[in-house]
């Protein structure tokens, strides 16, 4: 008999976690659509989907059977098909901020590759303006601060990455806070995009790199020492290099950890075996993120609750990790510290009455 047979998550604890002030640092726009919006936009385009009801489509879009990262990423072609006009992009960005606010998220960095949204004639500027318009509208309506990370893809030739880097820099005073390199790691080394990274660093833009997800610790080493990464996306396999692990801890290079996604892509076998707990105990600046709310089928609240359920994190630990994300945000120092200080006060208030994580099966909250 397992714990799940005798205990269940306390709904009151879930609502406490939802109320916690949180920051989301690793969220892909094209993986975080509302299922109902995917249905509506697909219908408007005449695109057939295997389900015509939002909950059924959400279950189908959740990737639980991928054998690797590349299989996980294949599902994105479905969402990209309905993200090729300014109206579509603005709607999806706007809704993402609305949903983030309802989940207790005070600050969100949304990342995407503008080049993937130009298949029907939009320019890079068109795509950027639509994205920023949607995020800005959501921010005005909710108070949740929303910023953009521009991605290139490892599979792109380096001149394409330069195009994305130049676009990111052009919008650095209009909501873009960083440049990223995403996509399959194996066979696509980050150093091939060195000129793009050099350009964004020269123009004082922050850098994050997906690394240590589909490949080993050497990929993380390359991201830091050849690309100048200020943060690492995922970093799951960092533990394979103890010296590098210590370096990240000492230099406070934050890890944008996405536990559920890492289970889905088979980087780790189970949530309970995820090395985020190891990194946290070592003193690393770990943050918890969704990666893709649609493909992973999670909210940020879900991820935090899962950390409590599978890793034994109490409210104090959850609060400390939540504050890490404000500290690691790609905002000007004064702005991120103001958000963090407000979060500290609210967490102290919430911490006065913390319900138990589990209830015996059958017992009401």
Annotated catalytic sites, by residue? 213
Beta-sheet strands, E only, within 36-192: 105-112, 145-153, 176-182
Cα–Cα dist 238/216, whole Å = 7
Distance set, CA 125 to CA 120, 128, 129, 133, 285 (Å): 14, 5, 6, 12, 34
Distance set, CA 212 to CA 182, 184, 244, 252 (Å): 11, 11, 12, 17
In three state form, how does the secondary structure of 283-302 look? CCCEEECCECCCCCCCCHHH
Cα–Cα dist 176/173, whole Å = 7
Cα–Cα dist 305/140, whole Å = 28
Tokens of 337: 């510290």
Cα–Cα dist 299/315, whole Å = 18
DSSP for 207-238?
EEEEESSSS-HHHHHHHHHTT--SEEEE-GGG
Q: Which element (helix H / strand E) includes 360?
A: strand 358-360
CB 140 within 8 A of CB 167: no
Cα–Cα dist 240/248, whole Å = 13
Strand partners, 28: 111
């Amino acid at each position: 008999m397992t714990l799940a047979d005798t205990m269940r998550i306390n709904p009151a604890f879930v609502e406490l976690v939802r109320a916690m002030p949180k920051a989301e640092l690793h969220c892909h726009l094209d993986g975080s659509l509302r299922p109902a919006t995917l249905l509506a936009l697909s219908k408007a385009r005449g695109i057939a989907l295997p389900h015509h009801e939002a909950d059924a489509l959400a279950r189908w879009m959740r990737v639980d059977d991928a054998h690797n990262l590349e299989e996980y990423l294949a599902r994105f072609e479905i969402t990209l098909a309905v993200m090729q006009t300014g109206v579509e992009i603005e709607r999806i960005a706007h809704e993402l901020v609305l949903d983030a606010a309802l989940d207790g998220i005070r600050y969100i960095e949304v990342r995407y590759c503008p080049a993937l949204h130009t298949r029907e004639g939009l320019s890079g500027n068109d795509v950027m303006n639509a994205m920023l318009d949607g995020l800005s509208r959501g921010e005005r309506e909710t108070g949740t601060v929303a910023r953009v990370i521009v991605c290139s893809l490892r599979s792109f030739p380096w001149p394409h990455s330069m195009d994305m880097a130049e676009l990111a820099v052009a919008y650095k005073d209009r909501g873009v806070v960083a440049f990223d390199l995403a996509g399959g790691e194996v066979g696509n080394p980050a150093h091939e995009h060195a000129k793009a990274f050099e350009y964004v660093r020269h123009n004082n833009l922050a850098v994050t790199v997906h690394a240590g997800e589909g490949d080993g610790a050497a990929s993380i080493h390359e991201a830091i020492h050849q690309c100048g990464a200020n943060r690492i996306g995922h970093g799951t396999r960092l533990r394979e290099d103890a010296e590098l692990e210590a370096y990240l801890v000492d230099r406070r290079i934050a890890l944008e950890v996405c536990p559920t996604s890492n289970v889905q892509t088979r980087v780790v076998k189970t949530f309970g075996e995820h090395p985020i707990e190891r990194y946290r105990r070592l003193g690393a600046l770990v943050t918890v993120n969704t990666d893709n709310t649609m493909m992973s089928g999670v909210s940020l609240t879900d991820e935090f609750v899962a950390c409590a359920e599978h890793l034994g994190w109490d409210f104090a630990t959850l609060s400390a990790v939540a504050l890490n994300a404000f500290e690691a945000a790609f905002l000007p120092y004064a702005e991120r510290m103001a958000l963090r200080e407000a979060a500290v006060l609210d967490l102290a208030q919430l911490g006065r009455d913390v319900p138990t994580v589990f209830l015996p099966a059958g017992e009401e909250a």
